[in-house]
Structure 1
Amino acid sequence: MEGVREKELRERLLRPILRELRDGAKDQVVVGGLEGLIQNLARPFPELLTLFQGYGAKTPEERLPVLEAALRLLEDGAPPRLPQAQERPRPGKLSPQDPAHLLVPPQGRKKLAELGLRTVRDVLHHYPRRYEDRRALPGVRYLEEGQKATLSVRVLSKELVKTPKKGMQLVQVRAQDAWGWRLTLVWFNQPWVLAQIAEGATLIVTGRVQRRGGVQLWVEHFEDEGTESLSTGRIVPIYPAKEGVGQAFLRRTVHRALEAALPLPDPLGAYREEEGLPEYTEALRAIHFPEDEEALKRALLRLKFDEYLLLELKALLDAGGMVLGRAFRVEKAWVEAFKRALPFPLTGAQERVMAEIAKDMQSPRQMARLLQGDVGSGKTVVAAFALYLAARNGAQGALMAPTEILAQQHYGNLTRYLFPLGVRVELLLGSMSQREKEAAMARLLSGEAQVAVGTHALIQEGVGFRDLGLAVVDEEHRFGVLQRRALLKMAQVPPDVLVMSATPIPRSLALTLYGDLEVSVLDEMPPGRIPVKTKVLPHRLRLQAYAFAREEVRKGHQVFVVAPAIEESEELELKAATALYEELKGLLPEVRMALLHGRMPAREKDGVMEAFRQGAFDLLVSTTVIEVGVDIPRATLMVVENAERFGLAQLHQLRGRVGRGGLPGYAILIAGEAGQKTLRRLRVLEESADGFYIAEMDLKLRGPGELRGTRQSGYPELRLGDLAEDTEVIEGARALAKRILEMDPDLSLPQHQALKDELRAQAERIGFREVI
């Protein structure tokens, strides 16, 4: 029997060899090259040492057979036979981790590599981007002028026609359908097509119909039906591909993978029936070659569920799974005392979320909750309630904000809410003197101060707590997950965590971006808050916005003007803001102005914002760095130039900067490009003041790819999922992920082995580090 040490060594060698295969045999997965690693580790396997001699000097094509032979040796104990140059695809059973090139003849290997299909699993999960119903293709006689059609025809003859116009050539192919009706297939300036078409061949062609003295089809796509039936008489998959990689080739390759690798163990196991989903093997077959629309619908649902389940499992495992913390006491008298001390009544949404937080804090598990609320919905009051409960239990709380001005604002509000209840709040900022910092840190370490409010200064060396029980992080995307974790490490026992965000995120996106957090939403505004009146103006009328700005300044009010967003170019954005600033100085010479941009040091930005808040300026020209949640009580007007370059949710958040001091607020969105589609999108903001409705519309109109800025860590690509439609599926997958990890925190039980294997296999593909 093989020794344990030798088995471990085999597994240790297999990992880099499999990664090398997936990477296209580029010899970049190990520092110093794979040959050096093999020479160091593989002494018990002399055959491997011989096999990898000179590996670094070989081309990627020459390395592939070496890797395949090494896999056979390590997995099966078979001798390291190098395959012959013309070896055909290996028949018989394949495993998902086998190299994909075993499915195709040698000339097909390059095509798979171009699409990044390294393993059989990659091929199985290369899902179609759309489908064509070819169960009953139309006949030529039924084609109409201008129609785009797909049909099956037999080639009668072909020729290359040179036209009188210089450099213009047409490929013309005479063909007929199954009923004998004839047409001419036309390719414009593609003479190479002639060599790809044989007389007597059956083609599947797609193109635009012209009826001019006969039927012509100007071909956009074609494929040779050949002798197989994967391209006609069925619902046919159309795959993501590159030039030179044909659809017929991909269908044959996927079909071989399905035949060679299935059936596979079901990652959901017994949970599949509980969720009412089809078997994994059945779903993989149907996603590629569905028998009918219902089979395709069920397959999509199953594989979407798997995709979201893996995302949620990864998020929970990354966060440390279900962490045990401390169970706080919550007494009804405390809750009532907190409410009585407030200078205003709570909204129903605040009452509901506070109850959710109290329930979490009473649990022995660590609270990990995301609190979402539109600008002005009262998140700080809810955070104050959680901090008050921690203090009543003898523990301390900390609130970390992204900027000093926002930290100071939180400090003022929390002191107003908590001081009457006997809770001392301490402020800790990087700009404080060393003496002030040391005094504040001493009060935190002794426990004299029960709540700390600050910036990243809270996680600097020398800061400590007597007993940190609750961490509140405001606008976490401005920090990142690492800063949150640094704050948590300052506690003796894992503290409860409350993450706050004023960026409206659709529930489906929140559940995936923040998969490790429960989600609470403040979806109700306090009474008396007047919605900001919003107007969309075409660019030709933009001077009206500045005439209105002049009037607001004359009333003693203040104005924000936001320069256009320029993607991935802070320098160009700065130039645009500077140019706008200079233009407005000439247009409004009597108005006191300041400029704010992302290139300024943090302290200088805070200084400009503080001066604006104190009334030193009437108008602030800014890039999109205007701080979230900062109160400028006399700011009443927000003007956004080139508003079409911003997302709806971002525009909604920008307009939330005005009308916060009891004065009416106005937002003017200037559309630099005034097409009907642009104006229709922007007018969503004229019609609604509901940040979550606007975020949902943003998701539908722009897609999640445009919304990834909501979290520094980025967002993985979904192959099948549709965040605008899949909220229910995501919630089901998340509930199951939590249930599985409660029972089996590291997926070590036998019934979870297939799920664990799938999670590991998918980790590298979607950019996750290995978590189990």
Structure 2
Amino acid sequence: MEGVREGELRERLLRPILRELKDGARDQVVVGGLENLIQNLAKPFPRLQSLFQGYGGKTPEERKEILLEAIRFLKDGLTAPPPRAQAASLPSPSRRLTPQDPAHLLVPPQSRKKLAELSLHTVRDLLHYYPRRYEDRRTLPGVRFLEDGQKATLSVKVLSKELVKTPKKGMQLVQVRAQDAWGFRITLVWFNQTWVLSQIQEGETLIVTGRVQKRNGVQLYVEHFENEGTESLSTGRIVPIYPAKEGIGQAFLRRTVHRALETALPLPDPLEPYREEHRLLPYSEALRQIHFPEDEEALKKALLRLKFDEYVLLELKALLDAGGLVLGRSFKVEETWTETFKKTLPFPLTRAQERVMAEIAQDMQSPRQMARLLQGDVGSGKTVVAAYALYLAALNGAQGALMAPTEILAKQHYQNLTRYLFPLGVRVELLLGSMTPKEREGAIERLLSGEAQVAVGTHALIQEGVGFKDLGLAVVDEEHRFGVLQRRALLKLAKVPPDVLVMSATPIPRSLALTLYGDLEVSILDEMPPGRKPVKTKVLPHRLRLQAYAFAREEVRKGHQVFVVAPAIEESEELDLKAATALYEELKGLLPEVRMALLHGRMPAREKDSVMEAFRKGEFDLLVSTTVVEVGVDIPRASLIIVENAERFGLAQLHQLRGRVGRGGLEGYAILIAGEASQKTLKRLKVLEESGDGFYIAEMDLKLRGPGELRGTRQSGYPELKLGDLSQDTEVIEQARALAKRILEMDPDLSLPQHQALKEELRAQAERIGFREVI
């Protein structure tokens, strides 16, 4: 055996033995036990193999003696200590760096462009440039242990290289013959990547990853490779794999991040006062372990710590952006008032409604401003709960306002609130942009005088000239249809910060709601009133789509109405319009006897309202629409909805769409036509056949598609999570949110000394994502 190769093997064996000693000699460092590893890898060292015979059956004390003897033996054969991750080939900066320092100080001038390409501008950017995955290279396999078809990472030494032209035109192979530390040979293959030849030198060691093929010897079709060089950041450890671009190597990124850690740490811990309480790893240690973990347990703890930081910063941003924890007014609530309200209703309340009403009553009694999100599936009874809150405000001598995104929804809310509140002596006023000047003036006068106790309207409520005698409660329906700014404009009409209730019929997983609406407490109506029938849902492949329209014809003959939703095409209203118009023309030919209308997002708001109102009155039998079909609009005779190319929609959106039908006591049907009939697509859509629970469907949507698709529920400007997983992290988010609220209660502007590091992190993150400064 060559001296160099023997030294490499001694180093490789030494690492797991040292870890085993550090781990307490439990024989759990290596899968299958340390004895198996030594027997497989230490064939050149019979003495070592003999030493470890029966190792697993010995006591921890006996094992420690064996480990110490093995360490002495291996170190005696080395001329230098085993290399550690020092990246010593790069000179140290002349001073310690701060997170704000430029990242290019850590690399040679010729490499600065690489950092800029990855948007790594500061040392902080490097510290938080987390790996996308990891490879366990503590004990890389030898060539003799590879199996055909296996994907493997191994360390090999280059023997020779050549470019091979093949009979197939335009196809060239780079073939590199190499061997592992035990002399077993392998051929590395690259297809049409001739540049590889200039990157590889004979005699150097490569780390290669690819698919094994055992044909004419052992071959590896290389997917990724790196030059190991002399540094040990790429072998003998759990190795980070970073997001990168072509021409930017993993070894370069590891060295640069490692130098950032070495020159900038330790850093002040943003959560030091709360670290022990939440059992969190120290901040600097977490940064080290996320990049270069000692073992799986250390990586797990680092992930949890830095994930927790992400959520705390996110929740602090949301709370501070909303004005912090605001003192409002304290309403009186008497039990008899609640009983009176319930007795006047023409139906019994669900347990979920009673629970949420109690949460709202508790909030309204608090001296702090109520800021609550009321989530409920279509038909779960959110309007009744809102009516209760408005009733409590009225009994306290204050006024309430409910703002809806469209006139048709505002009219519907006005009718329902009048039905619930008129018997209790509460006057409800309607204010719309389409009113005549005389009607508008009369409505505003009644609000200013206090004669009207509740106002219902669209954005007309926040237009110039509108005012209230004493606005105490603002209810905002489907806020994502207007936005946070409109909510704030409504709140400005009050003398004292009013209580706020935001309603949404879009089921959002609790974890997502807590991050998107971080400034709001979350209440969920997770129970449907008795008698509400689930919509029967069927997934059809595209080849059977005409069956859906045959069924539509039958429903129309019964006097029922039908929605047909055109496919969603990217994010383009123009393309959506073309799709809807083409479908409308097709259906006019297919169903000539059916009265049809077309609704799309490019219509003026008044025209959209007019079409929906005509459909509601029964002037049309079938409505072809893009996804602008209004949330919450009641079309009592609508019994069927057909969604074309349903695979282009999220599950939660499809569930929302099918909520348009079966609202007037009729049996409701939804037919989802799959334009692409792969097993994966059909399996996803069949979730809707199996369940009518909007929150379960939203959770499945989150797991299948991720949060990005669901974030249309709020304005952009919130950072993408680097480590957080909203489908798994509900408990972590709730803990982070509770801590963020506690910190701001104690220190509203983060001015206390113990919060300076946290304040700095918050500012740095706000600057990094272009978020407006809130402190």
> Structure 2-normalised TM-score?
0.88
Show the 5 A alignment for 1:331-730. 331-713=334-716, 715-730=718-733
1-structure distance, mates of 2:164, 2:340: 90
- How far residue 166 of structure 1 moved from its aligned partner, in angstroms, is 3.4
Find the aligned partners of 1:462 and 1:148 in 2 and give their Cα distance: 70
> Counterpart amino acid of 1:764?
E
Offset of 1:88 from its aligned partner? 6.0
Distance across 1 between alignment mates of 2:682 and 2:161: 49
Q: Does 1:97 align with 2:100?
A: yes
Aligned to 2:66: none
Q: Percent identity, please.
A: 88
Query: Unmatched 5+ residue regions in structure 2?
Result: 1-89
Q: Which string of whole-angstrom CA distances, capped at 9 and with x for unpartnered residues, describes residues 378-427 of structure 1? A: 00000000000000000000000000000000000000000000100000
Instruction: Output the CA distance in 1 between the equivalents of 2:770 and 2:629.
Output: 32
Per-residue deviation at 1:715? 4.2
* Aligned equivalent of 2:133, options 114, 130, 134: 130
Q: 1:111 aligns with which of 101, 110, 114?
A: 114
Shift in Å at residue 714 of structure 1? 5.2
Instruction: For residue 89 of structure 1, report the CA deviation from its aligned partner.
Output: 5.8
Aligned to 2:231: 228
Q: How far apart are the structure 2 equivalents of 1:148 and 1:117?
A: 31
Residues 324-347 of structure 1: per-residue CA shift (max 9 Å, x gap): 000000011111111111111000
1 CA distance for matches of 2:450 and 2:723? Answer: 51
How far apart, in 2, do the equivalents of 1:668 and 1:252 lie?
A: 55
1:166 and 1:513 map into 2 onto residues whose CA distance is 54
Distance in 2, matches of 1:178 and 1:764, equals 49
Q: 1:256 aligns with which of 253, 259, 263?
A: 259
After superposition, the C-alpha distances for 1:308-335 in whole angstroms (9 at most, x for unaligned) are 1000000000011010000000011111
**Contact 1:88–1:106 (Cα < 8 Å) also in 2:** no
Aligned to 2:203: 200
Contact 1:561 1:622 in 2 (8 A): yes
SS at match of 2:771: coil
CA distance in 2, matches of 1:418, 1:203: 77
Q: What is the one-letter code of the residue matched to 1:281?
A: S
Aligned to 2:522, the other structure's residue is in SS state strand
Structure 1 position 765, deviation (Å): 2.0
- Work out the CA distance in 2 between the residues paired with 1:214 and 1:652: 55
- Bigger drift between 161-170 and 408-417 goes to 161-170
Per the TM alignment, residue 108 of structure 1 is displaced from its structure 2 partner at its CA by 1.4
Aligned mates of 1:700, 1:471 — CA distance in 2: 34
SS for the counterpart of 1:273 is coil
Determine helix, strand or coil for the equivalent of 1:236.
strand
Give the C-alpha shift of residue 603 in structure 1: 0.6
Structure-2 residue corresponding to 1:184: 187
SS at match of 1:136: coil
CA distance in structure 2 between the partners assigned to 1:501 and 1:165 by the alignment: 60
More deviation, 373-382/98-107: 98-107
1:16 alignment partner in structure 2: none
Could you tell me how far apart the structure 1 residues matched to 2:657 and 2:168 are?
56
Per the TM alignment, residue 212 of structure 1 is displaced from its structure 2 partner at its CA by: 1.3
Q: Which amino acid letter does the alignment assign opposite residue 197 of structure 2?
A: L
CA distance in 2, matches of 1:139, 1:767: 49
Structure 1 residues 351, 463: closer, same or farther in 2, change over 3 A? Answer: same
For residues 9-24 of structure 1, the aligned pairs below 5 Å read none
- Which residue does 2:50 correspond to in 1? none
Deviation, structure 1 residue 645: 0.4
**Which range is displaced more, 580-589 or 297-306?**
580-589
Matched length: 686
Instruction: Tell me if the contact between 1:716 and 1:767 (Cα under 8 Å) persists in the aligned partners.
Output: no
Return the alpha-carbon distance in structure 1 between the equivalents of residues 515 and 276 of structure 2: 24
Amino acid at match of 2:760: D
Q: How big is each residue's C-alpha offset from its partner over 1:707-726, in whole Å with a ceiling of 9 and x where there is no partner?
A: 11111335421110111111
For residues 723-757 of structure 1, what are the alpha-carbon distances to aligned partners after superposition, in whole Å with 9 as ceiling and x for unaligned?
11111110010000000000000000000000000
The residue type paired with residue 150 of structure 2 is Q
Asked whether the 8 Å contact 2:717–2:771 carries over to 1, the reply is: no
Judge conservation of contact 1:89–1:102 (CA < 8 Å) in 2: no
1:153 aligns with 2:165: no
Structure 2 letter corresponding to 1:703: G
Q: Paired residue for 2:754?
A: 751
One of 214, 217, 232 as aligned partner of 2:217: 214
Structure 1: runs of 5+ lacking an equivalent: 1-86
- 1:143 corresponds to 2:142: no
Q: Report whether the alignment pairs 1:291 with 2:297.
A: no
Q: Give the drift of 1:702.
A: 0.4
* Contact 1:708/1:714, CA 8 A, preserved across alignment: no
Deviation string, structure 1 residues 51-77 (Cα, Å, up to 9, x no partner): xxxxxxxxxxxxxxxxxxxxxxxxxxx
Residue type of the alignment partner of 2:324 = G
Please report the RMSD computed on the Cα atoms of aligned residues, expressed in angstroms: 1.0
Q: Retained in 2: the 8 A contact 1:89–1:101? A: no
Distance 1:258 1:715 in 2: 27
**Preserved contact between residue 717 and residue 769 of structure 2 (Cα < 8 Å):** no
Where 2:96 maps in the other structure, the secondary structure is: coil
